Amino acid sequence: MGLKAGIVGLPNVGKSTLFNAVSTSAKAQASNYRFCTIDPNVGLVDVPDHRLAKLAELVIPDRIVPTQIEIVDIAGLVRGASKGEGLGNKFLGNIREVDAIIHVIRCFEDENVLREEGAINPVSDKEIIDTELQLKDLESVEKKISRTEKMARTDPKMKAELDVLLRCKAHLEQGKSIRGLDLAKEERAAIADLFLLTEKPVLYVANVDEASMHTGNKYSEALKASVANENAQVIVMNNSIEAQIAEMEDPGDRALFMEEYKMTEPALNRLIRSTYKLLNLYTYFTAGVQEVRAWTIHEGWKAPQAASVIHTDFEKGFIKAEVIGYDDYIQYGSESAARDAGKLRIEGKEYIVKDGDVMHFRFNV
């Protein structure tokens, strides 16, 4: 589906280190100097899903194919980015292209890691990024207001659009992000063409020291308190440890390393699953001897739309879908056993796909 999540934050907070840990297809240069990342690094990330492995145990396919999200490592923003400071226009343009934001915030002390903003202050760091994104959005909204005002005098539709734009302007001027503005679906259409930065959903990563990776610290707690009204999630992790785990190719070595740090799984797994959920994504599966595969769709998609992610012809020529719920598939152990037990359903074009459905599509082109 081409979905992207962008990693953002101030310089030297651990963005590229996090990217190196999550990416399965690229490694970003992580260095202790400003603007180490200029062009965004892009990598594909497998979405951890225990259900995929469970289905594979039953089917024993030739290959297993997880679903993926594209992660973009965007260079560190600085104060004044909205006015072009630190190549700000370029970096803000990179953010405009992603579907969700992973905001990395420094929550550790280390005199060897450069910091331009004085003492460690995660709340202030968050506000710097928020302000720059809000200022850029305000600029975009004001430009559209100037284009819309004249037409709104005679066109009721443009008048309604102008009203939405003015609400957005007032909201941004109060230092608030558009994602927190209560706009109806039809109202959001008025700003859809602006691809506003502060409308994108955000997940915060509190990058802590090793001693705080399980419990958090005063900095991560301050961050959590500051976003309590945003309905946002904060993932506490040590990016350096996660990068070390990701570099280990031997599963035994990885297990021993995690055991030493009292980890049941990499924190990255939580981060990736949370990002997936942040984008309101569902997974359905196809299961056969050639492959067991996970497919990404949006929550609420109907069966023909879900079929289109395999091939557009599947949607065009959709006839029906054979569906087995994941729990039923696991309980009965195979497609044939689930069918014999009456758990295989035939669904039509109006069926809304559920997370975890195991599906087979019938189509004609």
Binding residues: 12-17
Answer for the pair 351, 320: CB distance below 8 angstroms, yes or no. no
Nearest to 38 by CA among 74, 92, 83: 74
Local structure of 308: helix, strand or coil: helix
Instruction: Please report, for residues 14, 109, 153, 217, 236, the alpha-carbon distance to residue 211 in angstroms, rounded to integers and kept in the order given.
Output: 17, 12, 61, 9, 12
Cα–Cα distance for residue pair 322/258, rounded to 1 Å: 41
Residues in the chain: 365
Nearest to 47 by CA among 290, 285, 304: 285
Residues tagged in the binding site annotation for ATP: 12-17
For residue 297, the cross-strand partners are 282
Q: Which two tokens stand for residue 223?
A: 């961050």
Cα–Cα distance for residue pair 34/11, rounded to 1 Å: 6
Cα–Cα distance for residue pair 306/333, rounded to 1 Å: 24
Cα–Cα distance for residue pair 15/279, rounded to 1 Å: 20
CA 293, 49, 46, 304 torsion: positive or negative? positive
Per DSSP, the residues of 248-261 read: ---HHHHHHHHHHT
